[in-house]
Amino acid sequence: MASRSRRIIGRVGLVLFVIVYIAVAMVVGAVHFPERHPVVQILYFAVAGIAWVFPAMLIIAWSRGGQRGSGG
């Protein structure tokens, strides 16, 4: 697949992933943690707020096609 195509697909995929991830994280938090202690809620949202980074790194790595360094 061409580098340009990978980048476009990767960008669109990343945006869609983040939108879906945010929606799912909010629903899970609203359904499972509304009556919990505020510390538990904070911990959940802190972990959920950081956890999206790891799949996003995989999408970015795929879209770069194994390139190293700061490409144009």
pLDDT reported for residue 3: 84
pLDDT reported for residue 2: 82
pLDDT averaged over every residue in the chain: 89
pLDDT digit of tens for each residue in the chain (72 aa)?
Answer: 788 889 999 999 999 999 999 999 999 999 998 899 999 999 999 999 999 999 999 999 999 886 665 554
pLDDT tens string 49-68: 999 999 999 999 999 886 66
Report how far Cα 61 is from the mean position of its chain's Cα atoms.
13
Backbone angles phi, psi at 36, to 5 degrees: -80, 165
Beta carbons within 10 angstroms of residue 59's beta carbon: 18
Per-domain residue ranges for the chain? 9-64
Q: Among candidates 4, 1, 11, which has minimal Cα distance to 59?
A: 11
